[in-house]
Structure 1
Amino acid sequence: MNANALIHPTAVIDPGARLGEGVSVGAFTLVGPDVEIGDRCQIGPHCSFAGPTRIGRDNRFIGHCAIGGEPQDKKFAGERTELVIGDRNVFREFVTLNRGTGNGGGVTRIGDDNWMLAYTHVAHDCIVGNHCIFSNNTTLAGHVTVGDWVIISGFAGAHQFCRIGAHAFLGMGALANGDVTPFTMVGGNSIGRPRGINSEGLKRRGFSPERIAAIKRAYRTLFVAGLPLAEAREQLAQQALDSEDVRLLLDFIGSGERPLLR
């Protein structure tokens, strides 16, 4: 343990844990063996960290977080699996992040610059990109993949093995039981359905009107024109010749284990 770490006297730090420079640990927090916490991380009260877990720099765990617990999978037999967290993430109250499973890749991975608000749950073997916002009670089942810049609203989530493409937006209470294409907004109570593109989010991230227009055209081809999926893909292939964003969408289609949410 680093001598410069600021540890509350009621916290319990296992000798096998490694804490970086300037780490602070709040009251009644438990850090177990085989946990690495990077420089300048701030850990609030009543958190628990189980290993193997690797955490990068400048992360904040506000309080009552359960990080690196065993996967909630009956097939898990105690094999060595990991949770890997990047840099500059914020985890609010009661966030739970589970380690991977041996037959699911072995790693749950969180990228950089994400916000996970209260009661968010990320299950085993999930892969989360960068710059995502998960609102209160977001729930990801096992093996879910989330691209960069995704926003998930309160009480929304995804079925196991689903993928949520970059820049997608899930509205409040929307549950994805299929793959959500990049740039797409999903709304509706219970099982969500595509409701257009995330144009406001794209504008905020500096997408030009021309790029947004190309994405809208691709969305209409895929979701509005009533085309069979094979025919829609043929048209998207032509549109992708002039748009890297459409190419991203086209490459996403058909490359996962779940059907497309359409």
Structure 2
Amino acid sequence: MIAASAKIHPLSVIEDGAVIGENVVVGPFCHVGPKVVLGEGVELLTHVVVTGRTDIGRGTRIFANAVIGGDPQSVHHDGAETTLSVGEMCVIREGVTMNTGTTEGGGRTVVGSNNLFLANSHVAHDCQLGNHIILSNNVMLAGHVTVEDRVILGGGSAVHQFTRIGRQAFIGGLSAVSYDVIPYGMLNGNPGILGGLNVVGMSRAGMEKATIHAVRRAFKQIFDGEGSIRANAAAIRADYADSVPVMHILDFIAAESDRALSSPNRGKG
């Protein structure tokens, strides 16, 4: 079904069954598969492939040579029909790839809204991404990665499968993210080391100085204390019950995960 207000270039292919919303623009040499849904105002500039069972949210723009909704790049993929959902107002630049999920991973890759994906970045099968995220050029997310709201990943950084990156964390360019990164953390290097807190990002987000100082105190107690990271985090929970950002960190540490936690000190659990 193609809305009457949609503008489809005659050199593009829209397969039967695709749903094309109001005011969608499809430029030349694009290919839209039969199980794709393009929401209102979506724009495919040129040479874009959207395939698989893929939904693209309102106002998202996709640039040349992006392939969105391709089969998961997993040896465990059994050919079952899985999905990719991309939210509203995302910008997906040249050469970006995003894959659908796998049956064993829940069958869904989910990308939130207002995200920016720079050229040649990759979102693998079963990833779960929040909102207002930036993937810089050539960022690689392996399968089953979780990225929370307002994370920035620097160019060429790579994230190991099943890793979690907490809200408003900052990943430096060319970093190797092998372990979970706490909310508001700043990680750099290969292997990636948690170097401190994303204070600049916290300030830009409007966080008050007193709140930032509280997060800094908690960070030192968690990572410089005599006990393990998790034991230290549990020990200070009552002291920070009124600090929402600190509780984000403590809840993140307490949650179950397939990966260890990134730390300033290698080998400390």
Asked whether the equivalents of residues 144 and 163 of structure 2 are also in contact (C-alpha less than 8 Å), the reply is: yes
Determine the C-alpha separation between the residues in 2 that align with 1:230 and 1:197: 18
Determine the C-alpha separation between the residues in 2 that align with 1:100 and 1:80: 9
Asked whether the equivalents of residues 218 and 239 of structure 1 are also in contact (C-alpha less than 8 Å), the reply is: no
Determine the C-alpha separation between the residues in 2 that align with 1:66 and 1:237: 44
1:247 aligns with 247
Q: 1:19-30 counterparts in 2 under 5 A? A: 19-30=20-31
Determine the C-alpha separation between the residues in 1 that align with 2:239 and 2:149: 23
AA of the residue aligned to 1:196:
G
1:208 aligns with 208
AA of the residue aligned to 2:7:
L
Asked whether the equivalents of residues 230 and 253 of structure 2 are also in contact (C-alpha less than 8 Å), the reply is: no
What is the CA-CA distance between 1:78 and the residue it aligns to?
Answer: 1.1
What is the CA-CA distance between 1:16 and the residue it aligns to?
Answer: 1.0
| Residue deviations 1:108-132 (CA, integer Å, cap 9, x gap) | 0000100000001000000000001
Asked whether the equivalents of residues 4 and 21 of structure 1 are also in contact (C-alpha less than 8 Å), the reply is: yes
What is the CA-CA distance between 1:44 and the residue it aligns to?
Answer: 1.1
Q: 1:38-117 counterparts in 2 under 5 A? A: 38-117=39-118
Which 4+ residue blocks in structure 1 deviate beyond 4 angstroms? none
2:164 aligns with 163
Asked whether the equivalents of residues 62 and 93 of structure 2 are also in contact (C-alpha less than 8 Å), the reply is: yes
Asked whether the equivalents of residues 142 and 161 of structure 1 are also in contact (C-alpha less than 8 Å), the reply is: yes
Determine the C-alpha separation between the residues in 1 that align with 2:38 and 2:183: 32
Asked whether the equivalents of residues 44 and 64 of structure 1 are also in contact (C-alpha less than 8 Å), the reply is: no
What is the CA-CA distance between 1:230 and the residue it aligns to?
Answer: 4.0
Asked whether the equivalents of residues 236 and 246 of structure 1 are also in contact (C-alpha less than 8 Å), the reply is: no
2:266 aligns with none
SS in 1 for 2:241: helix
2:231 aligns with 231
SS in 2 for 1:253: helix
TM-score relative to the length of structure 2: 0.94
Determine the C-alpha separation between the residues in 2 that align with 1:91 and 1:119: 9
1:18 aligns with 19
1:154 aligns with 155
What is the CA-CA distance between 1:4 and the residue it aligns to?
Answer: 1.4
Change (3 A) 1:154 1:226: farther
| Residue deviations 1:101-160 (CA, integer Å, cap 9, x gap) | 011011000001000000010000000000011100011000000000000000002100
TM-score relative to the length of structure 1: 0.97
Determine the C-alpha separation between the residues in 2 that align with 1:67 and 1:87: 15
AA of the residue aligned to 1:22:
N
RMSD: 1.1
1:197 lines up with 2:197 in the alignment:
yes
Change (3 A) 1:230 1:97: closer
What is the CA-CA distance between 1:21 and the residue it aligns to?
Answer: 0.5
Determine the C-alpha separation between the residues in 1 that align with 2:222 and 2:161: 24
AA of the residue aligned to 1:152:
L
What is the CA-CA distance between 1:165 and the residue it aligns to?
Answer: 0.1
Unmatched segments (≥5 aa) in structure 1: none
What is the CA-CA distance between 1:234 and the residue it aligns to?
Answer: 3.1
